[in-house]
Amino acid sequence: MLIKNSCFAAVAVTIFFSCSKSVVMTIPVVETGEAKEITWSSVILGGRVIDDGGDQEVSRGICYSLTPYVDVGDSLMEVGHGAGNFEGTLDGLTHSTHYYYKAFATNEAGTGYGELYAFSTEAGGIPTAITEEVQCTSPYMATCNAEIVNLAGSTTITYGICWGTSSHPDTSGLHTEQTHVLGPGIVSISYTENLFELNPGTDYYTRAYVTHSAGTGYGKPYGFTTPVEQIDLPCPGQPLVIDSRDGQTYPTVQIGTQCWLQRNLNYNAATSRCYEDNLTNCTEFGRLYDWQTALGVCPDGWHLPSWDEWDLLLDYLGYYLYAGGRLKEAGTVHWEAPNSGATNSSGFTGLPGGSYSAYSDTYTGLGKEGCFWSREFYNPWFVSLLMEYDTVAANSWFGEKENGLSVRCLRD
DSSP letters, 251-313, are EEEEETTEEEESS------TT-B-GGG-HHHHHHH--BB-HHHHTT-SPTTEEPPPHHHHHHH
* Sheet hosting strand 84-91, strand order edge to edge: 29-32, 42-51, 84-91
Percentage with pLDDT > 90 across the chain? 70
User: Are residues 328 and 406 both part of a single domain?
Assistant: yes
Alpha-carbon span 404 to 384, nearest angstrom:
11
Q: How many CA atoms lie within 13 A of 176 on its CB side?
A: 19
* 233 domain-assigned: no
* 114 domain-assigned: yes
* 231 domain-assigned: no
User: Are residues 293 and 352 both part of a single domain?
Assistant: yes
| 83 touches 94 (CB < 8 A) | no
pLDDT digits (tens, 9 = 90+) for 51-92: 999 999 999 999 999 999 999 888 899 999 999 999 999 987
User: Are residues 95 and 149 both part of a single domain?
Assistant: no
What's the mean pLDDT in 208-236? 88
The CATH number linked to 172 is 2.60.40.10
pLDDT of 402 > 90? The answer is yes
pLDDT of 369 > 50? The answer is yes
pLDDT digits (tens, 9 = 90+) for 82-95: 999 999 999 878 77
pLDDT at 334: 97
| 205 touches 134 (CB < 8 A) | no
Domain that holds residue 306: 240-411
Alpha-carbon span 3 to 13, nearest angstrom:
30
Overall pTM > 0.85: no
List b or e across 209-243, with b for residues whose CB sees 16 or more CB atoms inside 10 angstroms: bbbbebebbbbebbebebeeeeeeeebeeeeebeb
**Domain total for the chain?**
3
User: Are residues 52 and 104 both part of a single domain?
Assistant: yes
pLDDT digits (tens, 9 = 90+) for 153-174: 667 889 999 999 999 999 999 9
Concatenating the DSSP letter of every residue in 2-13 gives EEE-------EE
User: Are residues 252 and 352 both part of a single domain?
Assistant: yes
| 130 touches 46 (CB < 8 A) | no
Q: How many CA atoms lie within 13 A of 285 on its CB side?
A: 32
* 280 domain-assigned: yes
User: Are residues 71 and 96 both part of a single domain?
Assistant: yes
pLDDT digits (tens, 9 = 90+) for 106-138: 999 999 999 999 999 876 556 788 888 899 888
Q: How many CA atoms lie within 13 A of 397 on its CB side?
A: 20
**Where a domain ends, among 89, 120, 151?**
120
Residue type, 326: R
User: Are residues 373 and 281 both part of a single domain?
Assistant: yes
Most confident segment among 215-224, 351-360, 371-380: 351-360
Arithmetic mean of pLDDT over the chain: 89
* Residue 224 pLDDT class (50, 70, 90 cuts): very high
* Residue 9 pLDDT class (50, 70, 90 cuts): very low
